[in-house]
C-alpha cells in the first residue's frame, strides 16, 4: 500500500510516547509508532536499540512506564499477553511461544484447546479435530509438514514459523508481529517465511517484522521505522528508501533522533 492513503486512514495500532526503563537504563524514550491496515512495517535498529522491548510492550510482556498503546480503538497498554492475543495481536518469536512436546495441531490450538467428552463424561483434548483444523490452516501456506502428528521438536525452523503463522491465520489475527523470524533459518526457509509475510499482507493482515537482514526487509516492507538508542530515528515509506539511507539511520549518522540530539 502506498503511504499517501494513510492520511485518510486510522492506524490499527498506535503507540504514543511509550517509555520503558530498566533500572537506570532508558530502553524506550517517548516512542511513537503506528501500523496502518494492511501494511508490512519493518522495525530496524542496531543491537540494543529497543526493538524487542517495543514489541514486548505491545504484546503485553512488559508494561510501559509511560505513554499509551491503542489497538483497534481500545487501550491495550495494561493488558496481559493472553488478553493482547485475544484482542487479535499474534506475536511470533523464533523459539518462543510454541510447545516443543506437543504436535502441530495442539500448537495451533495452544491455550485454546478443543475438548470432547470421552465415554460421555471425561473431558479429553480432541486431537483429531485440532489436527484436521490445523491441516486446513497449514495448507494455506506453502510449507510441507510431513505429519501433523509430529512434535514441534522434530520440525525445522521454517516449519515452526509456518505453524506459528498457521496459528495466527486460524485465529484470524488482526496484527502479526515477527521478531527476527528468519535469523536462524536456511536460505530456502527464509524465502518461505517472506512469502508467508506477503500472504498475510495479501489477506489484509498487517505485519511488523524485525530483522537485521536488510535484503529481507527491503523485499517485503511497505514502511521502515528505525530505532536508535531507544528513540525513533527515522520513519520512511519504501518509495523514499535505499539500503544506504537505512544503514545510515541505523548507525546514527543521520535521522530525526540524531538531529534532535540523542
Phi, psi at 136, each rounded to 5°: -60, -45
DSSP element (H, E) containing 214: helix 214-220
CA 118 vs. chain centroid, Å, equals 37
Based on the shown chain and the rule CB under 5 A, indicate whether residue 211 belongs to the binding site for Mg ion. Answer: no
Find the shortest distance in angstroms from Cβ 185 to ligand ATP. Answer: 16
The residues in 48-67 that bind ligand ATP, with binding defined as CB under 6 A, are: 48-53
Residue 47, contacted partner among Mg ion, ligand ATP, none, CB below 5-8 A by kind: ligand ATP
Please give the span between the terminal C-alpha atoms of the chain, in angstroms, as a whole number. Answer: 32
DSSP class of 99? -
Residue 187, contacted partner among ligand ATP, Mg ion, none, CB below 5-8 A by kind: none
Based on the shown chain and the rule CB under 6 A, indicate whether residue 44 belongs to the binding site for ligand ATP. Answer: no
Interaction pattern, residues 94-113, with Mg ion; x per rule: CB under 5 A: --------------------
Based on the shown chain and the rule CB under 6 A, indicate whether residue 231 belongs to the binding site for ligand ATP. Answer: no
Query: ∠ at Cα 206 (204, 207), nearest 5°?
Result: 135
Count of residues that bind ligand ATP according to CB under 6 A: 11
Based on the shown chain and the rule CB under 6 A, indicate whether residue 225 belongs to the binding site for ligand ATP. Answer: no
Nearer to ligand ATP, 55 or 169 (CB): 55
Based on the shown chain and the rule CB under 6 A, indicate whether residue 47 belongs to the binding site for ligand ATP. Answer: yes
The residues in 4-43 that bind ligand ATP, with binding defined as CB under 6 A, are: 22, 25, 27
> What CA–CA distance (Å, rounded) separates 155 from 139?
16
> What CA–CA distance (Å, rounded) separates 104 from 136?
12
Based on the shown chain and the rule CB under 6 A, indicate whether residue 160 belongs to the binding site for ligand ATP. Answer: no
Nearer to ligand ATP, 7 or 47 (CB): 47
In contact, 40 and 175? CB cutoff 8 Å: no
CA-based Rg of the chain, rounded to a whole angstrom? 19
> What CA–CA distance (Å, rounded) separates 254 from 262?
11
Residue 101, contacted partner among ligand ATP, Mg ion, none, CB below 5-8 A by kind: none
Based on the shown chain and the rule CB under 5 A, indicate whether residue 161 belongs to the binding site for Mg ion. Answer: no
Based on the shown chain and the rule CB under 5 A, indicate whether residue 52 belongs to the binding site for Mg ion. Answer: yes
CA 14 vs. chain centroid, Å, equals 15
Based on the shown chain and the rule CB under 6 A, indicate whether residue 223 belongs to the binding site for ligand ATP. Answer: no
Among 113, 50, 117, 59, which residue's Cα sits nearest to residue 83?
Answer: 59
In contact, 234 and 256? CB cutoff 8 Å: yes
- List of residues contacting ligand ATP (CB under 6 A): 22, 25, 27, 45, 47-53
- List of residues contacting Mg ion (CB under 5 A): 52
Amino acid at each position: 500500500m502506498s503511504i499517501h492513503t494513510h492520511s485518510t486512514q486510522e492506524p490499527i495500532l498506535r503507540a504514543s510516547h511509550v517509555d520503558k526503563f530498566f533500572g537506570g537504563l532508558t530502553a524506550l524514550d517517548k516512542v511513537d509508532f503506528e501500523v496502518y491496515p494492511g501494511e508490512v512495517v519493518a522495525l530496524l535498529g542496531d543491537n540494543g536499540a529497543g526493538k524487542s522491548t517495543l514489541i514486548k510492550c505491545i504484546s503485553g510482556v512488559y508494561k510501559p512506564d509511560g505513554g499509551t498503546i491503542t489497538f483497534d480503538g481500545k487501550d491495550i497498554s495494561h493488558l496481559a499477553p493472553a488478553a493482547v492475543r485475544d484482542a487479535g495481536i499474534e506475536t511470533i518469536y523464533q523459539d518462543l511461544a510454541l510447545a516443543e512436546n506437543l504436535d502441530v495441531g495442539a500448537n495451533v490450538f495452544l491455550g485454546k484447546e478443543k475438548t470432547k467428552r470421552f465415554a460421555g463424561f471425561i473431558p479429553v483434548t480432541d486431537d483429531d479435530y485440532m489436527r484436521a483444523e490445523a491441516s486446513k490452516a497449514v495448507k494455506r501456506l506453502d510449507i510441507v509438514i510431513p505429519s501433523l502428528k509430529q512434535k514441534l521438536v522434530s520440525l525445522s525452523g521454517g516449519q515452526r514459523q509456518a505453524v506459528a503463522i498457521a496459528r495466527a491465520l486460524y485465529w484470524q489475527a488482526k496484527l502479526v508481529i515477527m521478531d527476527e523470524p528468519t535469523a536462524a533459518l536456511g536460505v530456502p526457509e527464509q524465502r518461505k517465511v517472506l512469502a508467508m509475510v506477503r500472504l498475510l499482507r495479501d489477506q489484509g493482515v498487517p505485519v511488523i517484522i524485525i530483522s537485521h537482514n536488510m535484503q529481507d526487509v527491503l523485499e517485503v516492507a511497505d514502511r521502515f521505522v528505525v530505532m536508535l538508542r531507544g528513540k525513533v530515528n527515522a520513519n520512511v515509506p519504501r518509495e523514499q528508501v535505499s539500503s544506504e539511507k537505512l544503514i545510515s539511520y541505523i548507525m546514527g549518522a543521520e535521522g530525526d533522533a540524531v538531529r534532535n540530539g540523542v
